[in-house]
């Protein structure tokens, strides 16, 4: 995966056209400070995760309940 700088320009370029429009809409209305920082952080994570091969297919499978894998029980969990 290629690194994505946490800048408005880099995040916008890394997103799909549909996501980019939503991202710029949020950036343009966010106030400087924690609100804008939060917008950048959320969309940066989305842009990074979009680079993971097969992400969209796996997400669609999860939403549809297909190809689910059971998780192991946590260590120390009691049997009920």
Q: What is the pLDDT of residues 34-45, one digit of tens each?
A: 999 999 999 999
Per-residue confidence band for 80, with pLDDT thresholds at 50, 70 and 90: low
Which contiguous run of DSSP H or E holds residue 6?
Answer: none
Q: How far apart are CA 52 and CA 34, in angstroms?
A: 28
What's residue 79's pLDDT?
62
Please list, in sequence order, all residues whose beta carbon lies within 8 angstroms of the beta carbon of residue 21, skipping any fewer than 6 positions away.
none
Is the pLDDT reported for residue 71 higher than 90? no
Burial of 36 (0-12, 13-18, 19+ CB in 10 A): middle
Q: What is the pLDDT of residue 48?
A: 92
């Amino acid at each position: 995966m290629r690194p994505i700088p946490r800048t408005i320009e880099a995040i916008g370029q890394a997103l799909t056209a549909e996501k980019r429009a939503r991202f710029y809409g949020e950036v343009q209305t966010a106030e400087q400070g924690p609100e804008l920082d939060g917008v950048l952080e959320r969309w940066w994570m989305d842009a990074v995760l979009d680079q993971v091969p097969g992400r969209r297919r796996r997400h669609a499978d999860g939403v549809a309940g297909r190809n689910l894998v059971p998780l192991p029980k946590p260590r120390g969990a009691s049997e009920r």
